[in-house]
Each structure stands twice: as structure tokens, then as C-alpha cells.
Structure 1
Amino acid sequence: MGIQRRRFFLWLFIGLLKCLFITPDCSAQGLQTITKEALRDKIEAYWYGQLVGNYMGFPFENVYREEPVPILIERYFTVEDLKDFDLEMNKDDRRSYGHIMADAMGGAWSDDDTDIEFVTLHAVEKYGLDITYSEITEMWKAHINRFIWAANRKARDLMETGLVPPATGSKLNNPYWYRITSQLVNEIWSVFYPGMIDQAAERAEWGAKIMCDDWAVHATRAYAVMYSAAFFENDVKKLVSMAAESLPDKSPYKRGMIDVMHWYSINDDWRATRKLIHENYYEFVDDFKVPDPYVAAVVNGLSGIMAILYGQGDFRKTVGIAVSAGYDCDNQAATCGGLLGIINGTKGIPEDLLLKLPSRYDWKVPFNNTYINYSRDNLPNYNRISDIVNRILTISEQAILDNGGSIKTDRDTVYQITNDYSSNSSKDDVEGLITLLADLEAKEQISLLRQHFRSVRTMVEDKTHDIAWTAQDSSWASNALTFFRNEGAHWKTYTEGPRPLIMSFTSPSDGKNSFYWLFLPRAFDSTVHDYPFYMELHGSGGGKNDNPRNMLFRPLQPEIKGVTSQGYRKEGLFIYPWGRGDKWYRDQSEKDIFECLAHFDNLFTTDATRQYIYGFSMGGGGAFHFAQKTRERWSAVGIYSGALGEFTRDQAALLKNMPVWIMWGEKERLAASNKKLKDYLLNVGADVRWKEIENIEHKYLAEYQTDLMDWFLTKHK
């Protein structure tokens, strides 16, 4: 089918599909209840389901590419089956000897469909659900060194060079960014957040960016939505629709999901739909020619969506289609198996798939209640599956409490979970905010405040970045509506307190909207042209800041959030650029900072002898980077625990005539590079104020930024 004709049918059927797949109340917010027994059973079935799918798919992994497996695989196959079936199989390695592996291990064994989640479990137990990229990097370096390939292998190697996610998954650094990898290692986030769909999707996407980028993370987000929603929703068509709706409109994976939903509605045979997936999404994704398409994110992810729809909620049929579709099929089968496990619980998984894998005897309990870890270093080798399930349940309980839910114990323990799915939520508040901002703009006489109202509205309505609206965005918007109905409408809020104005402009380099915070000095006078100027570059939010609303809305709430020291001190004009989010101030992000400076300089004249740039972590690395490129501008630079990456003595020497403030934690992973920069600077005779903070890891401490601000006051050109 031609591309234009296919697109015609795609959009023609969108309305029909929404009617067919979505009922009006499928995304309603509110409290949902589930007993502890039922929640634990679903978590247990998720783990079993992944194991079943993994081992069913093993013999056929990457074997069938152009065509699917000629029969439907509905049980475990081994090399012994080659006597009776004319099939291609991975007959020369362990993947076709699952029965022997089961005998040798005495239960289940680790593979990348479960063992990276096994590491994530340990990581979250150590650092909490808000684990950062720096912390997950330490866990990867300690535990993930063998049995990893392509995108994971490259991400791990990049960590050795000092990079941390999302740089390790960026297409600029990782040549395998487009692969399926992220989808098969992040399902656990949705199990940590049962029914908390936006939280699950956000954290799974965070995990996906460790090794993948761009549209390759969209399948991860889609499956995260389905997994989390499946704790309370068992209609697979609704789950698929909710997942598609959560993706950016321009996503090729979303377009593919809509195609698959349409093809499912007109084709009774899944093989006809598989053929269409192959014709439309195998070799190319948009204008990107996939180097090794059988392991790519889109074609594999869509094969899983096909299996979920045609499987119609039946575990054996769903996993069987996922395996038989071919490509990197053990991964699809594991992901689909985990999802169907959550939907149907342990009783929904056929007994033979839980007990009859070994060749010598059947197990008495699923997988002999054993998970042998032989692939992840410095973690327990022998594990009881029941213990793994209980550990996940403990984290899920914490997530429930952290997100407004509760645990009630009477006769049975019952969890009340806040459903945060945002597809159609808070529309009245969002529309009310847009209307209010337009009204405030029309009436305002002060040009900066008028531009502020316009910029916030631009941020709310922004389509240039194709970023899906989330429940958190809705919450921000609702709170911002309250703020702008009250103090946010008044000029003195921004001149007397620590609230920034939002400035927006159209990027000259790519035509997209760019934003920055603008803090005014106390008692700001527009006729004064010798205020000092400060620019702070933000640290990494682990990908969260890629959504501008996540950063920019924070100080526009009734309870202020996210403002750093200079925002309260109000000693000069101070900007805090978005910089396209967590992009490490390179490429378009670098251009964004230069364009922010140009936009600011067009609005204000400041004291050329008092110009300061600084930042923490990624922002500290960015400050070092920009100080080298624009050293004629800056009076001093501040680097707090800078994520500096690789640099040379000559690069450091470029700052020999610029005062440098540099501090870091004694125990943090960035200590060595910060010490090296300090030593290089001292060796060339630079003016350096430095300190290694005892017994501190990578942590922002406000008292040290206060020290930096005091130090800046002493530095003039």
C-alpha cells in the first residue's frame, strides 16, 4: 500500500478507532482500591509472565525476520522439537536448550529481560524511587558488566568515560539508540507504580533514556502506560488506546500503533497485520534507514501491540503470537507475558508453562520458586522468586503512600491508589488559565509583565516541541491558575519576592519556542543600566526537564518551588535558561543558551564588569563549557560539582585570567574531574577559590551556593 494511501486510511479511521476502543470513563481520575493479596498476585504474575515469554521466545530470537514463524508457538520448544517440526532455531547455543538450563539451574535464570530490572530493584531499594541518573550510573557500573549488547553495551562503556544518562543513550553518543533495548528493561517501573499511570510512564521513560533516544523510547512509554493501567483495567483494546494517546502526536510509534489498531479492525488473521507492519515499519522509520531492523524499537514494539490485540486477553495466545511474529521475539514475548500476568494474575498463566520446563521432572511450584542470577555482578546468585515479589511490593506500597494513596487494614489489607491518568483531566483549569493569561496580557501596561503573561500562555499551548501533556502538567496548570488569579497578576510579586518572569522567544535556529526564567532585582528600575548580571545553568533532571512545563511552572505555584539563591537575594538581573532541557548544553541546547543571552541583551543593558555564570552538576559542566567559549564576557565563573566530561589542560588554561569558584563532594563520582580542573587552574596561576566538602556525595547544598554569591560580590573586571 502506498504511503499516501496508507496515511489517508490512518487518519480516516482515527475517529472510528476512538469510538471502537475508548469508552468515556476509561481515563477518569479518582481512588481505586485493590487488596494486598490481589496486588501481590499481579506482581508475582508479572515476574512469571516475563520469564515464560523470555524462555518461549529464546529458540527463535532474531531467527525469523522477513517472515513469521510458520506455526503458532504456544509452548516451550527445544532442539528436541526439530525431529518433528521443520523450523529454524538457535540450535547452537543455550537458547534452544531451555529444558537443560532449567535442570541445571533448578529454576529460572537471569537474562536481560529480567536481570536489568533485578538491578533496578536493588537500586531503588538503595536510593529510593527518586533515584537520579548519577546514582543509577553507579549501580550499572557495580552490577551490569556482562551479558549486555548494543545500546546497553555502549551505554555502559560510555559510563566509563564519565558520561551519565541521558547522554549515554543520546543518538549523539550511542549509535544503537534506535533499538528495542529500552522497552524490555523498564517494565518494573509500572509495577512500582500500579495504577499511577503518569508516574509509571515518566519513570520508565527516564529509564529508557539510559540507553535509547528520540522515538525509540516511545514504545517504552506506551508499555509503561499499559502495565500500570492493567492493575485496574483488563480490556486490552482500552489499554492499547490509552498507550497510543499518551505519545506525542508526531511520534512514528504512535502512528504505527494507530495503524495496527486499524489493521486489527479489518484483518482477522494476525499474519496479515504482521505483513503490513513489516512493509511499513521494518526498513525505515520516517526518513531514518534502520541499520539492523530486526532489532529496532518500532517494528518489535508494534509486533507486541499486534500480539496484545489479537491475543484478546488470553495469555498463551498473546505470548504465542509475540514469539511467532519473529524479529527479536523473546523480548516482545517477555513484555507481553508480564502484561498479561498483571491483567489475569497467576491463575491466568497456564500451569504447564509454570511447571513443565525441565526435562527430568516437573516443578511443584512455579519455576521452583527460584531465580538464579548468573549475569549481574555483586548481587545474590540464589534468589527466591517470592522474596523478589515481596521486595517489589514493599516499593509499590511506598509509591502508593508517596502519591496520595493509603493503606487500610481491617480484616484484609486494602490499598487505595490515586489514578493520575491525565488524558482528559483538568481541561477546564487549563483552558481557564489560557483565558486568564490572555485577559491579563490585554489589560497590562508594564511591557515585561505583559510579555510574561504571553510567555506562560505560549508555554501552555506549545506544540513546537511535540511533548505529550501529562497529569503533572495538569496539576501545575491548575495551581498556576490559582497563582495568577491572586499574586501572580501583580508586578510587585516579581519585583519584591523570589518569583521569576517567564520570557519566551522563537528560536532563530530551528523555529521552536525557547524559554527562560528572568528574575528582577529588588525594587527594579528600568532606567538603571548597571545592574550585575547572573546566568545559572540548571542541572540534569534525568530527562524531566525536556518538558519545559516541568521546569518553568515550578515557581508559578501558590507554594514556590525550584528557586535558587540569587532568586531570593535579588542583587541583579538573573536568568535561568531552559536550554531544551537535559541536553548537556551541546548542539541545539548550546544554541539555545546563546540565543537566550542575545534575547536578554536586547532587553537590558547591564554592568559589563559584573557578569557571572555558574551551575551545579550538568549546569556546572555547562558553565565551564560556556566560560571557555565566551570568556570575554564573564567576570567570574562558578562550578559546583561540575559534570565536566573530558577536558584538556589547554581548555582549562583558557580560564587563567578569570576567577573560578569550584567545589565538590569528597565522596562523589565527579570528584576526580573537579580536582583535575582545580589543579590545572592553579598550575596556570588562575584565581581559584576551591573546596572539597568532606563526607559528601553528589549533593546540592544551599549554603555553598550562598558562599558563591558572596564571592561573586567581590569579583569585578
Structure 2
Amino acid sequence: MTAVRLTWAQPEDLVGHELRQAAEDGRDPAAALRTWLAAGGHPAPDRAGASLTPAPRELRALATRLLDALAQLPPPSEADEPHSWPAIRATWPTTTHGDRPTGLPNPAARPPTGPGQGATTPRPAPPRAAEAVPGAPPPGTEPEPGYGPARAAQPPGGAGPHPLLPTGPEAALRERLEAAWVGRAVGCLLGKPVEKLPLEGIRALARAAGNWPLNDWFSERGVPPRVLAAHPWNRRSAPTSLAENIDGMPEDDDLNYPLLGLLLLQRHGKGFTTADVARLWLDELPAGRTFTAERIAYRNLLLGLEPPVTATHHNPFREWIGALIRADVHGWTNPGDPAAAAAQAYRDAALTHTGNGVYAALFVAAATATAATGRSDVHTALRTGLAFVPPRSRLAEAVRFGIRAARAEPEDFDLVVDRLHARYGHYHWVHAVPNTALIAAALTHADGDFTRSVCRAVSGGWDTDSNGATAGALAGLLTGSPDALPHRWTAPLKNRLATTVPGFDGIGFDTLAHLTAQEAARS
């Protein structure tokens, strides 16, 4: 009988990740590390979610004790990386007279409920004038845009009404939201077959197929067997995500979480609490569809713990990318109000993440809310998102570095990626800091072009499907319409999304846009 080896949950693996996290956030794990290694403990798995074999009972018990001991280490000063909502808000720059940022006319954000309940939400100062990104989009031809006939497909029964077609601002917002949903799916699907692969593997596979710099779906056609043997595709994703076998958008957590966010808003409105997020997950999210910090938080809920302890108890993944991939829906439903988007993203993220994991969600939510107006370019959106991140945090430094690197190398994104990996390669490949820096660099370098945005985000490695999804959502939103997205990207999706989130399996992106626009209109 084969034993079940649950990933992202074994104490003997968690302790290695926690030792690494402690060193990254300024605590001293040296004594715990010596104890662990002396007892025969191993470092955390580099890319897999679990080590190959279970630890002996004594070693597993030691790992649990060390997790408790590491949690008691004196935390670093929160001056640079605050955790509470009031402390995070206090880092936001404000204008002298309390003016709202330029181009963001919506009223003040709803005060958060749950963590930070009752606090007001000041606004950052307006970003500085846009700096032009050197270079123009490279020459090339795009096939005609749009879904083609598949876009008119009716949604499945129970998935909601087929969108109506009124004119005016509401229709324009819905068009932008549909482009964002589709863009998120495209970027995610592009990154799926190379998720977990090292950078050299991604480059080798694409080059062997004549697809480098990356400009199209990954394909196995023409790739020599020796290259495939050296750099095997992601075994779970390749059967549904290579060019030769895409048939609709397969299930992925990068789409499941926006669906859950939409469901959260439908049930609880924009005043939801972190406890509402927790209850929704227990009701509607299969535990086996969670990973890293989300799996740990889910386990903590089942142990009877409550937020925000769910984000910290034996959770070495609390600064990884999971909260970022849940942030889009909060920006989509607060167009022009990045402060409200950030407040919602915080309450969502607090279930599972702290520190830089939360800041990444604030960055994406605020940038997305800015882009959702239809009046912003990508650089304004990124600067606005960054204004909601504590400025001396590691995440803010990484985003600034990514943007500067992209501007410094306008002709060759590979050089940008090499600089990012040299500076942040010591982080785990799912950590929020390197991945958010890469997203910002890719979007900056692409200068609003959809294809270049998703391809640069994925070609940079690390968490390829999540990075592609976030870059694709923002770039899609900025195009203004799904018909502006190249046909070669949208046609294989067939306006169909697979998911285990109840009530959404087989739904079309047009219907999702309609439902999201409804939540955006709710006060």
C-alpha cells in the first residue's frame, strides 16, 4: 500500500522553509539550524512540495518543536515592514492638504473590517510624472484580434445570465473586465507547462522550438528528445497547456482564487471580513486545491485556529505569492479607488500571509484599480500600486529595482531577467519578493503591449503561471476590450474555464465580466 505524502504540510519540510524565512526577515536561526542538522535534518526541498521520504518519528517531533522555537525568536523591527493595518497605512505618503492622487477621483476607501477594523484609509500622494520607457514595441504582425465564434457561446446552466449589451460606462467597464479575465487565463496557461522549471530549462525548451524570445504558446513540436529529457515539462500541466493540446482554460489556482473572490463579494459585499474569507474557503474550496500558505492556513482553520493566527502558526510560506494571486478581483471591483482595493486585499490576505506577502497583494490590487478606470497607462498603474507598499520594505525595493532594470535594458529582456535572478535568486521560487519584481519589470518593459507583457513575465522564470496570470490580467485590462487581444491567444480558450469552485465550472469569461461588473457597481 502506497502512503499518502501530503505536500506543503510535513513538519520536517516546513522547518527548513522556516529557517530560511527567519534569516530573510532578520531573525537569527543559527541555533535552531545547528540543532536540526546535528539531528540529521535536511534543508527544505528546492522545488517540490515535500521531501521524497517521511522523516523518522523522532525527527518529525523535533521539527515541530523547532517550528515553535523559531516562532519565539525576537521579531525584527516593524518600522520598515509593519504588519498591522494601521501601521501599514501610516507608511503611505499623504499630500499636504489631503488631496486625492491625480486621476483617482473616487471617494475615500471603505474602512477595513476584521483586521484594522474602524480605521480610516488615507491616500498616498500622487505619483510623479510618468517617465518614458526607452524603445518602441518590436516590429511584428499579430493575427486578427478577438475570440472568433467561440466568444458568443452561452454559459453553462447555473453559471449566471449571459451578458446583456447596454452601452455607456457600464458596458465599457465590462469590456475591460472581460479582457482582464481573459488576459489572466492566457498568462496563466502560457506559464503552466514550465512551472517549477529553472530559468535555463525554460530558455532551452523555447529556443529548441524556435520560440525565443518567447512570443507564442510553448510546444513540444520540433524539440529534440535530449532537450525534453534534460528539461521535462511540468507533468501535471503539460497535457492541457502545450500549443498542440489546449482545449479551453484548464483548472488552476490562479483562476480559482479570483472566482472565490467574486463569490466572496457576491455573498458578503465589499465589507467582508477575514473570517468571511475563512468560512467561504471551508464551504467551497477543496483542501486539495490549496498550496503553500493557503494549505497551511486551511489546516490551521481545521485545527480550530482563527485569523490572523492562521497566517502565522507553522506557516513558513506567509511571505510567498499566494495573496498576490488573490488580489485582482479587489482591484477589478474598485475601479479608480486603489485605497479601497488595497483595504479589501488586506482583509483577504490576512487569512494566510504577513509582511511582504501582504504587500504584494496591496501592490497588485491598487495597480489594478488604477488600470480599471480605462484612463491609465501601465506605468501610472505600477507607480500607484507601489505607493500603497511600505517604502522601506524588501518588496518595495524589489519592485523599484525591477522597474529600473527594465528601463535600463530596453532592447533585451533576458538581461533584465539575469539581473533579477542575480539579485533575488536566493529566495524560494514562489516567494513574493522576486516574483513581484519580475511582474513589475515585465510590465514596464512591455510598455502596455499584451503579448510582450505575458511573454516577458513567463520567460523570467520563478512562479511562471502566477506571474503570467497577473501580468496578463493587468495588460488585458489596459487593452480595454477582449477584441484587442491577439486571436492566437484567445481562440484556444474557447471562452470556457474549468474549475472545481462550485457553480463556475465551464463558465465563459464574458459571463465572469458581467458578474464582476455587478460587484463593482455595489456600494
Alignment of 1:157-556 (within 5 A): 157-170=299-312, 172-232=313-373, 233-268=375-410, 269-283=412-426, 290=427, 293-345=428-480, 346-355=482-491, 357=492, 367-373=493-499, 375-376=500-501, 378-398=502-522, 402=523
String of CA shifts for 1:254-309, please: whole Å, max 9, x gaps.
111222232233223222222222222221xxxxxx4xx11111011111111001
- What is the SS of the residue equivalent to 1:249? coil
Aligned to 2:187: 53
Alignment of 1:649-668 (within 5 A): none
Aligned pair in 2 of structure 1 residues 101, 277: CA closer, same or farther (>3 Å)? closer
Paired residue type of 1:150: T
Contact 2:189 2:241 in 1 (8 A): no
Paired residue type of 1:316: T
Q: Shift in Å at residue 201 of structure 1?
A: 1.2
Aligned to 2:294: 152
- What is the SS of the residue equivalent to 1:55? helix
Contact 1:315 1:349 in 2 (8 A): yes
Runs of 4+ with deviation above 4 angstroms: 31-34, 65-68, 83-90, 99-104
Paired residue type of 1:117: P
Q: Shift in Å at residue 318 of structure 1?
A: 0.9
Structure 1 stretches lacking a partner, 5+ long: 1-23, 284-289, 358-366, 403-717
Taking the aligned partners of 2:449 and 2:226, their CA distance within structure 1 comes to 25
Taking the aligned partners of 1:252 and 1:92, their CA distance within structure 2 comes to 30
- What is the SS of the residue equivalent to 1:180? coil
Taking the aligned partners of 1:194 and 1:25, their CA distance within structure 2 comes to 14
Taking the aligned partners of 2:414 and 2:505, their CA distance within structure 1 comes to 41
- Greater mean alpha carbon deviation, residues 229-238 or residues 339-348: 229-238
Aligned to 1:110: 251
Aligned to 1:630: none
Alignment of 1:607-686 (within 5 A): none
Contact 2:378 2:444 in 1 (8 A): yes
Contact 1:48 1:338 in 2 (8 A): yes
Taking the aligned partners of 1:180 and 1:318, their CA distance within structure 2 comes to 19
Alignment of 1:542-581 (within 5 A): none
Taking the aligned partners of 1:36 and 1:53, their CA distance within structure 2 comes to 26
Taking the aligned partners of 1:277 and 1:319, their CA distance within structure 2 comes to 17
Greater Rg over alpha carbons, structure? 1
Out of 38, 41, 46, the position equivalent to 2:175 is: 41
Taking the aligned partners of 2:511 and 2:103, their CA distance within structure 1 comes to 34
Aligned to 1:589: none
Q: Shift in Å at residue 131 of structure 1?
A: 1.4
Q: How many residues align?
A: 354
Taking the aligned partners of 2:504 and 2:295, their CA distance within structure 1 comes to 22
String of CA shifts for 1:638-684, please: whole Å, max 9, x gaps.
xxxxxxxxxxxxxxxxxxxxxxxxxxxxxxxxxxxxxxxxxxxxxxx
Paired residue type of 1:306: A
Structure 2 stretches lacking a partner, 5+ long: 1-98, 108-166, 205-211
Q: Shift in Å at residue 60 of structure 1?
A: 1.0
Paired residue type of 2:255: T
- What is the SS of the residue equivalent to 1:371? coil
String of CA shifts for 1:358-407, please: whole Å, max 9, x gaps.
xxxxxxxxx3332222x33x444332333222111111111xxx2xxxxx
Paired residue type of 1:381: D
Taking the aligned partners of 1:31 and 1:120, their CA distance within structure 2 comes to 22
Is residue 98 from structure 1 mapped to residue 240 from structure 2 by the alignment? yes
- What is the SS of the residue equivalent to 2:176? helix
Taking the aligned partners of 2:100 and 2:504, their CA distance within structure 1 comes to 45
Aligned to 1:683: none
Taking the aligned partners of 1:267 and 1:92, their CA distance within structure 2 comes to 30
Taking the aligned partners of 1:158 and 1:25, their CA distance within structure 2 comes to 39
Taking the aligned partners of 2:214 and 2:226, their CA distance within structure 1 comes to 11
Q: Shift in Å at residue 202 of structure 1?
A: 1.4
- Whose relative contact order is higher, 1 or 2, with alpha carbons under 8 Å and at least 6 apart? 2
Taking the aligned partners of 2:344 and 2:454, their CA distance within structure 1 comes to 26
Out of 168, 184, 196, the position equivalent to 1:62 is: 196
